[in-house]
Structure 1
């Protein structure tokens, strides 16, 4: 299973939110590049970068920071947050980003999402963030009437690289991954599923691995010292 640490950017700093609330955050580092290099030194191969400012504003805000991480580490990088047009997709791919994550656009701009999937097959990840079972958009401020399966069904014939499924109610709370919802989704999805939201410790990782989940986003559990990534990487 792929372990993917998250680097969430807000105001140029590495933070973690509580339940997706941008007014409730904790700063873990003033230097995102240092954090990325720390992951690289541990043996991590891929990081998940979220431009939280971009997600709220609908544009790239922390682009220069992401550029520094791409250029000064060997990490594979996926980026989400504020990607709402083809120009931004092209900018990120030209920069050297390996995958882009589309969230709000997946629900609100289906034509753009399908255009990106057609132009960049197997390089676009659908970020499905659920609150009470329904997909939330615009930096998690708005809740739609669609479930994750509803969204996946509309993209079945496209070359989606993966699905990142986040249970917002658990995100940043160390409450444990919603394994049941993640596994249920993976059993119905034609695309690989990456679990996200609330990982509390090593036990969550082994539970997801038992069900052959493709990957897991690791956030607050690492930053709060709840897991030892080096040890887990040796075991997995």
Structure 2
């Protein structure tokens, strides 16, 4: 299982929100580039970067910082937030992103997802963000009348092979991931799933790892790393099937 530290960008800073709410923001670093390098030095093999301003605005707003992060680290980086055109996908890949995550576009511009998959293959992921089983879009500000499972099956038909699944009610809360919904999405579709939202403890990571046989092969961890409820060293050891040294 792959451990992917998260860097959420807002106004050029590294922040975490609770359930995506702007009024529940904690700033963890004024230097996201240094934070990215820190996670790399701690052993991270991938990095997850989200342009929160872009997610709310519908277009990237932190491209300068994203470009600096991509230039500063050697590990692969996946990027999401406000990516709603093929031009933006191409620009991010040209800057050095390994994967680009489409979210709102999967609902509002489904044909774009098909075209992106045709052109860029496995570099295209879709972020499926669920609130009470329904898909949320536009920075999680709007919930649409479509289940997360329905969307997963639709985008699979369009060529998507991997999704990032987030239970919004768990994101940034340190209350534990929604294991049932995450496992069911993988089981019902055969898609590779990156679990996201709610990871708080080493036990949470062990529980996610038990879903690996279903296709849940990665987990994004954010607030738990920044709040210190789990260390990256510990997370990497669990992911590798080893326990961290006492």
Kindly indicate whether the alpha-carbon contact (under 8 Å) linking 2:128 and 2:135 is maintained by their aligned counterparts in 1.
yes
Kindly indicate whether the alpha-carbon contact (under 8 Å) linking 2:202 and 2:234 is maintained by their aligned counterparts in 1.
no
CA deviation string 1:111-150 (max 9, x = no partner) = 1111111111111111000011100000000000111111
* Structure 1 position 157, deviation (Å): 3.4
Kindly indicate whether the alpha-carbon contact (under 8 Å) linking 1:121 and 1:158 is maintained by their aligned counterparts in 2.
no
What runs of 5+ residues in structure 1 fail to find an aligned partner? none
Give the structure-1-normalised TM-score. 0.97
Residue aligning to 1:24 = 24
**Equivalent-residue separation in structure 1 for 2:90 and 2:185 (angstroms):** 30
**Equivalent-residue separation in structure 1 for 2:67 and 2:177 (angstroms):** 30
Kindly indicate whether the alpha-carbon contact (under 8 Å) linking 1:8 and 1:49 is maintained by their aligned counterparts in 2.
yes
What runs of 5+ residues in structure 2 fail to find an aligned partner? 241-246
1:69 equivalent to 2:72? Answer: no
Residue aligning to 1:84 = 84
**Equivalent-residue separation in structure 1 for 2:9 and 2:144 (angstroms):** 25
Residue aligning to 2:133 = 133
* Structure 1 position 8, deviation (Å): 0.2
Root mean square deviation of aligned Cα: 1.0
**For residues 161 and 33 of structure 1, do their structure 2 counterparts lie closer, same or farther at Cα, with a shift above 3 Å needed?**
farther
**Equivalent-residue separation in structure 1 for 2:157 and 2:146 (angstroms):** 19
CA deviation string 1:174-215 (max 9, x = no partner) = 010011111111101221011111111111111111121211
* Structure 1 position 41, deviation (Å): 0.4
1:146 equivalent to 2:149? Answer: no
Aligned length, in residue pairs: 236
Residue aligning to 1:230 = 233
